[in-house]
Copies of this chain bind each other. A is one copy, B any other.
Amino acid sequence: MDAGVLETAFLQAQETVGRQGDIVRSLKAQLKDGKVERSAVDEAIEMLKQVKIDLERKQKALEDATGKTASANKEAFRSAMLNALERRLFFIPSFKIYGSVAGFYDYGPPGCAMKQNVTQTWRNHFILEENMLELECPAVTPEIVLKASGHVERFTDFMVTDVKTGDCHRADHLLEGALEALLEDRKNPASPEAAKAARDLLARVGELGAEELGAALTQYGVKAPDTKNDISAPFPFNLMFKTSIGPRGDLVGYLRPETAQGIFVNFKDLLYYNGSKLPFAAAQIGNSYRNEISPRAGLLRVREFTQAEIEHFCNPADKSHPKFQSVAEVAPLLYSRELQMGDEKKPKRIPLGTAVAKGIIANETLAYFIGRTYLFAQRASQWGGVGLNADRVRFRQHLQHEMAHYAEDCWDFEVECSYGWVECAGLADRSAYDLNAHAAMSKVEMSAYERFAEPQEVDVLSIVPNKKELGRLFKKDAKAIADALEAMSECDALEMAGKLAAGQAAGIKADGQAFEMQPGFVEIKKQRKKMSGRNFTPAVIEPSFGIGRILYCVFEHCFYTREGDDQRSVFSFTPVTAPVKCTVFPLLQRAELNERAEAMSAALTRERLSNTVDTTGTTIGKRYARTDEIGVPFAITIDYQTVEDSTATLRERDSTAQVRVPLAELPALVRRLTDMELSWQEVAAKYPAQAQAGDE
């Protein structure tokens, strides 16, 4: 059998396993509610086992036939899919007529429509459902904001340059490439010790500092790709696009590297808007920018991309979530720290309730968002998920060293695609870090007030500058010094108190100048006070999504070719995400058919269903193939019987099954199918089947 046929068979089997998995999960949920019998679930599980065995067999057959590793097959798959995407203008390299610029892509008509759909699904699933406060902030951001957030100092990648041509490369990518080549070299296999060392280093590349990275590059003799020239030592390159705001040229600005900062700087207003109550979540969907050193991996690593970020503000002492029970039994693949360090190195399906109870996930709120993300990703959730294969998505916990020092817990939402497991969202408990950073830089308090159930005795720090003494010694600076003393953090104040108590001097900065405090200049002490509440900086739990990456993975999970014809590619997009919901075909180029087709199109538009009429004279089979290729889920064909009895055929893309439906009922029917209020099975049961003309 030829490889194309085997590949199609493999992809279809993969799709089947995904669907059967969905069915099992859905039946299990219904079993809980007493809606189905235990036997139905068992039967579905048995079926799942069988299709999994079938999948493994087909994968093996494919690998045997092609003599290629899985990764070579993946590349062939990707190139077939990208070809379909580019040919049908899902995306276009930007500025193509000028030779393009790496890292920039345009979304063409179907890609743009799908991006809207994914974004709108996200908005419905998160913002509308949770009543989040949505914001829209500018991308152009003055430097001070990004100094506070740490991006000006730390948002860097290590770069090396080709010493002769000046070409720039990412140091870690070059090192990874060299290590992988060494490990895969069949002609001169590395010694077991060398291989182990290379593997260990490969796992740590992301953690290396400039010096270690430079040493490793030298050790492995890494040269510039293509030219094979020597490379410079690695140095940090800031990934933000820089610009200048206003005509004077003295106000530095950057294009934001993430949308989150726009939410943080508005925290105070948002808290007030929410009636000063916690918890609440704010969200922003918008473009962010990263001036990547050398963008690779096509649509996955781009320089301008759409983010959808949520900042859930809560009391650090209470990270429970009122709606947690609604996801407690959702069981996504979790790849916890423990499982990553274990022998099997495989994620496991764990109900989120169990994961929180066992301390695998740090708190309910983080687990709640993991559950909501999982439902959003799938094929069939309340709003209709975006259509990823639930067996090819997982949540991977950050290892301790991967997390920033302030983070409490982090999980990446990863999707398996031809590039491997790709991070499509990050869910992090960032504690109070971001709000504290902006409070420190802006001198604006970023706190919330909590009223205790009953008054409590608490230790309160009191800082009382000796204003008389300060005034005498420091004259006009006295006020600024007193203010600076009063504004000290608890930590700084206690440190100063210690020094002063020991009879030493202690430094303080005020208005950019340094001053020396002596014992007696300020009184610092802890007092026990009865308080009816307290001010605190809220903790932030941040789910952050890359819309473009999710869309790309949807493309991969939905692409297949029809059995027996690897030229007929299909995207099995869910009706919610599909770029066009329905196509209308007059069977032949006749005025009486065209007129009815146009009228049907207008009726679909009135139902706000995006649709197209294809009146070209090609065969109906070719036209079906053409809409399959952009993933249109439904097609209406107007034929001569339509003229006689005002019915038309309705075709479903994946089964290619057709039914005959009265014209008058079609627009509302397609609307309900698209909204997933109605399944194709229900439609097929209600209306008479039609011979599958065009798809034989």
Contact = CB atoms under 8 A, between A and B. Distances in A.
A115 interface: yes
B92 A140 contact: no
Interface stretch (A101-109, A529-537, A657-665): A101-109
Nearest to A254: B243
In the complex, which of the residues A106, A124, A244 has the most CB atoms of chain B within 10 Å of its own CB atom? A106
Interface in A144-166: 144-145, 159, 166
Interface of A is mostly: mixed
Contacts of A287: 139, 287
Interface string A224-266: 0000000000000100011111111001010100000010011
Contact of A293 (B111, B112, B247, B291): B247
A136 to B, nearest CB: 4
A221 to B, nearest CB: 23
Q: How large is the interface on A (under 10, 10 to 19, 20 to 34, 35 or more residues)?
A: 35 or more
Given A168-B248, A245-B101, A95 B133 contact: no
A651 to B, nearest CB: 21
A603 interface: no
A95 B136 contact: no
Contacts of A608: 124, 128
A142 B144 CA distance: 27
Given A108-B269, A136-B112, A266-B106, A438 B97 contact: yes
A612 B136 CA distance: 20
A265 B135 contact: no
Contacts of A23: none
A66 interface: no
B113 A134 contact: yes
A301 to B, nearest CB: 13
Contacts of A166: 248
Contacts of A452: none
The 3 A-B pairs at the shortest CB distance, nearest first, are namely: A168-B247, A97-B442, A107-B136
Interface of A: 88-89, 92, 94-98, 101-102, 104-109, 111-113, 115-116, 123-124, 128-129, 131, 133-142, 144-145, 159, 166-168, 237, 241-248, 251, 253, 255, 262, 265-266, 268-270, 273, 275, 287, 289, 291, 293-294, 303-304, 438, 441-442, 444, 605, 608, 610, 612, 616
